[in-house]
């Protein structure tokens, strides 16, 4: 018979790095857009996702609503996912790229905390330590005046915008962690494409309503901004595809650790294309958050390997 072709070693980690690069470049283009509200950018991203997912729904015959008992979970998955996207885009627009990226990497820590509260998963003293590391990193990035004094340096624009961006990034991270907990609750009973479909549809409806309320719906005046909008949609979609492929052929632990390359790319792009040098406070905060998320990923990875060995025995 014919031999089965061996899988390329490290291909999943390569996909992860490629995904991180695409997400980082999409964030850079978002910083370069001058006259488009973050909610409108989110709406365009949802349209691209719907166009990508629709053929998959038809091909796999999943339907558009999902199982009756799971629809409420799918709704909240879409609701929290769209909030996470909109607030993250807002954070990218009003604060340094590296700062916003670093804060988003506290998501694994908050996911563990929410899973402990709502799914009764184990929450060890190590998880508490990693949570404290993550909070420390966010404080070093936000630099509240009551701790660091009134003269805060190394931020974009006013401190008030920096603080708003920090709050938006933290809320986005909590919303993203909530979506992961909901996806865990649903399990494998709902197809992945259907989950993204809810995310895109609910996000688009919410964005359109918000744009009319804010009176911000308008096409960019500059042709360059229109190109950036299309590229953000394509790069975000490509990053999601490569991340999904990475998780299909590689263990979640190494993928989660390798995803911290997103922080490295954010620092490099910020220096090269935005001419904004990160402060030592930001570097210290980034190290705290990366250590926290990597520690959480390693613990989850070891726990899953241990359970797999027990099943084999």
pLDDT exceeds cutoff 70 at 6: no
182 closest CA partner among 168, 198, 171, 205:
198
pLDDT exceeds cutoff 60 at 4: no
d(CA 245, CA 239): 10
How many CB atoms are closer than 10 A to CB 236?
A: 23
- Alpha carbon 275 to chain centroid, angstroms: 24
24 closest CA partner among 269, 241, 237:
269
| Cβ-count burial 276-311 (b if 16+ within 10 Å, e if not) | bebbebbeebbebbbbbbbbbbbbbbeeeeeeeeee
Domain span at 144: 11-312
109 pLDDT band, cuts 50/70/90, is confident
Q: What is the pLDDT at residue 152?
A: 67
DSSP 189: G
Mean per-residue pLDDT, 236-245: 80
d(CA 161, CA 169): 12
Q: What is the mean pLDDT of the chain?
A: 81
Token representation of residue 13? 């980690």
| Cβ atoms 92, 27 nearer than 8 A | yes
pLDDT exceeds cutoff 60 at 2: no
For the ranges 66-80, 94-108, 207-221, the lowest mean pLDDT is seen at 207-221
Mean per-residue pLDDT, 21-27: 90
Q: What is the pLDDT at residue 225?
A: 80
Q: What is the pLDDT at residue 248?
A: 66
Whether 261 maps to a domain, the answer reads yes
Q: What is the pLDDT at residue 95?
A: 85
Mean per-residue pLDDT, 146-164: 72
Q: pLDDT tens digits, residue range 183-222?
A: 777 766 777 778 788 888 998 998 888 888 877 777 666 6
Give how many domains the chain has, as a whole number.
Answer: 1
d(CA 44, CA 229): 7
d(CA 9, CA 131): 33
Mean per-residue pLDDT, 60-88: 84
Q: What is the pLDDT at residue 153?
A: 66
Task: Tell me which of 95 and 3 has the higher pLDDT.
Answer: 95
Whether 272 maps to a domain, the answer reads yes
CA angle (263 as vertex; 258, 264 as ends), nearest 5: 85
Whether 101 maps to a domain, the answer reads yes
Whether 100 maps to a domain, the answer reads yes
Q: What is the pLDDT at residue 154?
A: 64
Whether 276 maps to a domain, the answer reads yes
Whether 81 maps to a domain, the answer reads yes
Secondary element (H or E) of residue 8: none
Token representation of residue 63? 């339907």
Whether 68 maps to a domain, the answer reads yes
> Is 183 exposed, middle or buried (CB count within 10 Å of its CB: 0-12, 13-18, 19+)?
middle
Whether 121 maps to a domain, the answer reads yes
CA angle (192 as vertex; 196, 57 as ends), nearest 5: 75
Compute CA distances 210 → 201, 203, 274, whole Å: 14, 10, 29
Question: Rounded to two decimals, what is the model's pTM?
Answer: 0.81
313 pLDDT band, cuts 50/70/90, is low
Q: What is the pLDDT at residue 156?
A: 66
């Amino acid at each position: 018979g014919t031999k089965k072709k061996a899988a390329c070693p490290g291909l999943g980690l390569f996909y992860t790095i490629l995904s991180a690069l695409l997400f980082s470049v999409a964030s850079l283009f978002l910083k370069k857009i001058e006259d488009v509200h973050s909610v409108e950018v989110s709406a365009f991203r949802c349209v691209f996702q719907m166009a990508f997912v629709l053929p998959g729904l038809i091909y796999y015959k999943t339907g558009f609503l999902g199982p009756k008992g799971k629809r409420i979970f799918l709704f909240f998955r879409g609701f929290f996912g769209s909030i996470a996207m909109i607030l993250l885009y807002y954070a990218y627009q009003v604060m340094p790229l590296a700062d916003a990226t670093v804060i988003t990497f506290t998501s694994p820590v908050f996911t563990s905390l929410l899973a402990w509260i709502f799914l009764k998963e184990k929450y060890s003293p190590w998880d508490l330590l990693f949570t404290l590391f993550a909070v420390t990193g966010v404080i070093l990035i936000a630099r509240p005046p009551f701790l660091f004094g009134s003269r805060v340096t190394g931020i974009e624009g006013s401190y008030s915008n920096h603080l708003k961006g920090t709050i938006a990034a933290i809320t986005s991270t909590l919303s993203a962690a909530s979506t992961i907990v909901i996806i865990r609750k649903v399990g494998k009973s709902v197809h992945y494409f259907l989950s993204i479909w809810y995310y895109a549809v609910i996000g688009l409806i919410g964005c359109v309503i918000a744009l009319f309320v804010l009176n911000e719906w308008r096409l960019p005046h500059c042709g360059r901004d229109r190109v950036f909008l299309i590229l953000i949609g394509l790069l975000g979609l490509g990053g999601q595809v490569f991340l999904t492929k990475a998780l299909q052929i590689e263990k979640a632990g190494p993928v989660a650790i390798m995803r911290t390359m997103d922080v490295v790319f954010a620092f490099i792009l910020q220096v090269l294309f935005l001419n904004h040098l990160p402060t030592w406070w930001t570097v210290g905060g980034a190290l705290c958050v990366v250590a926290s998320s990597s520690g959480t990923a390693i613990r989850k990875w070891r726990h899953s390997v241990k359970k797999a060995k027990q099943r084999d025995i």
